[in-house]
Amino acid sequence: MPSRVHTTLKFAASISRERDSRMAGTAVAQAVRRELGGKAADLACLFFSSQYAESAEALVEAVREEVSPRLLIGCSGEGVIGGGEEIESAAAVTLWTASLPGVSMKSFRLSADRDDYGVSMTGWPGDLDESPERPSFLLFADPLSTPMDEVLALIADRCHGAPAIGGLAGGGREQGDNRMVLDGRVYDGGLVGVALSGSVAIRTVVSQGCRPIGERYMVTRAEHNVIHELSGTPALERLKALFGSLSDEEQHLAQRALHIGVVMDEQRNRFERGDFLVRNLIGADQRTGSVAIGDVVKEGQTIQFHLRDAKSATEDLHLMLAAERVRHPQPPLGALVFSCCGRGRGLFGRPHHDVSVLKERVGDVPTAGFFAQGEIGPVGASNFLHGYTASVALFSEPDAEPA
C-alpha cells in the first residue's frame, strides 16, 4: 500500500465549542495552521451551528486572519462534525483545511430567479464550460431558497458526468436564518460551490442507509412519480405480497420506513448496494392498485423495495466504505462528511456513529462536516439530493494510471 509519508497533499481539522465567534474562529484556525506544518491552506471548509449565525462575519474574519486560505467555503448546519465527534445540540465550530498543490479551484455562488416561465439560475462561471478536465464539485446551499433539482441539472448539462457532493445548510427555520460562506462574504440564501480538478482524487461514498428486501421488478406501467404496474402486476399487489412475506419485526418496520430503490445503471450484470437511488414511498391508491414515490420513474426501470433502520444504516455505511477501499489503492488522507439531521442519536441511539464508522474503515484522517437538511451525492453517473443519507468525500492522491 502506498505510504502517506511521501504525499504532496496535507489535511488538517479542528473543532471548538467556544461560544464567542471570534474566539472560536481563532482557536480552530490556529489549530489547523499548526497541523499543516507550514504548508499553505489552499482550501478551507468552515461549518458551524446555528448559535453562530448572527455573528458569522466575525467567525469568518477570525479564520481568514489566522489561516489566509486561498479559498474559504462553508455553511451553518443542524449540528457539527469534527474529528471523532458529532455535536448535534450544542454550539460548535469546525474547520477543515487542505494543502492542494497542483489543484485548480473555481468558486461560484448561484442564486435562483423565479418568474412566470419557471426557474433560472444565475452565477454560473462560464469558464467551467470550457474546462477540458472533468471537475469534482463541493456544494453548500440554503434549502429554503435553492431549487437543487435545477442546480444539479445545470451541472449535468454544463459538466456532464462530474460528481457533486455536499449538503443543505441547517439550523434555521425561516428563510434568511441559514448562512453560507464564500471567502470573506456571508450569505443568507442561495448556493456556494467550488469545482476542483487536478492532482487530487475526490472519491464519493453515498450511504443511503437502507437494505433491499424481496424481489426485483421491472416497471411496466408508470406515469411521472406513480407506478401502476410492476412486472405486469398492479404495484400495490406486489407490495402486499411482499408485506405478507416479512417477519413481524420487518412488518412493523415497513409500516414507517419502507422505501423504493430505483436502479441507476440497467447495464450492470448484478445490482448491489450503491446501485439503487432510494426514494420515499409516499402513497398508495387502493382503487387503481398504484403506488407513488418521491421521484419520477420510467417504464423499463428496475426497482426493489428497501427498509431503513439503524441496523441497516450501520451495515450500509460499513459495506460502502469497505467496497470503496477495495477499489482504490491510494489511502484516504482527509474526509468531509455530510450526514442527515435524521441520523445521529435519533436514529442510532448513540453519538458519533458515522464518524466512528468512518474512522474504523478509513483510518484516523482529518475529518469535518455537518448535519444537513438534505445530502448531495452521486448514485451511478448522476447527482441527486438525498435524505437520511451520509455523503462522504474522501480525498487522496490520484490512483496510478495502469501500465
Q: What is the mean pLDDT of residues 173-199?
A: 95
Kindly indicate the confidence band of residue 403, based on its pLDDT and cuts at 50, 70 and 90.
very low
Nine-digit cell at 248? 413481524
The confidence score (pLDDT) of residue 5 equals 40
Range in 53-62, 127-136, 162-171 with the lowest mean pLDDT: 127-136
The confidence score (pLDDT) of residue 257 equals 87
pLDDT of 1 > 70? The answer is no
The confidence score (pLDDT) of residue 3 equals 38
Read off the pLDDT of residues 260-281 as tens digits, 9 standing for 90 and up.
999 987 777 677 777 899 999 9
The confidence score (pLDDT) of residue 143 equals 95
What is the residue-averaged pLDDT of the chain?
92
Range in 44-48, 51-55, 57-61, 307-311 with the lowest mean pLDDT: 307-311
Q: Where are the domains of the chain?
A: 10-207+313-396, 210-308
List, in sequence order, every residue forming a beta bridge with 284; answer none if it has no partner: 291
The confidence score (pLDDT) of residue 401 equals 57
Cα gap 235→212, rounded to integer Å = 17
Q: What is the mean pLDDT of residues 292-314?
A: 94
The confidence score (pLDDT) of residue 14 equals 97
Range in 30-39, 127-136, 317-326, 343-352 with the lowest mean pLDDT: 127-136
pLDDT of 134 > 70? The answer is yes
The confidence score (pLDDT) of residue 4 equals 40
Among residues 267, 400, 257, the alpha carbon closest in space to that of 342 is found at 257
Give the pTM: 0.92
Read off the pLDDT of residues 308-354 as tens digits, 9 standing for 90 and up.
999 999 999 999 999 998 888 899 999 999 999 999 999 999 999 99
Kindly indicate the confidence band of residue 363, based on its pLDDT and cuts at 50, 70 and 90.
very high
Q: Which residue has the higher pLDDT, 279 or 121?
A: 279
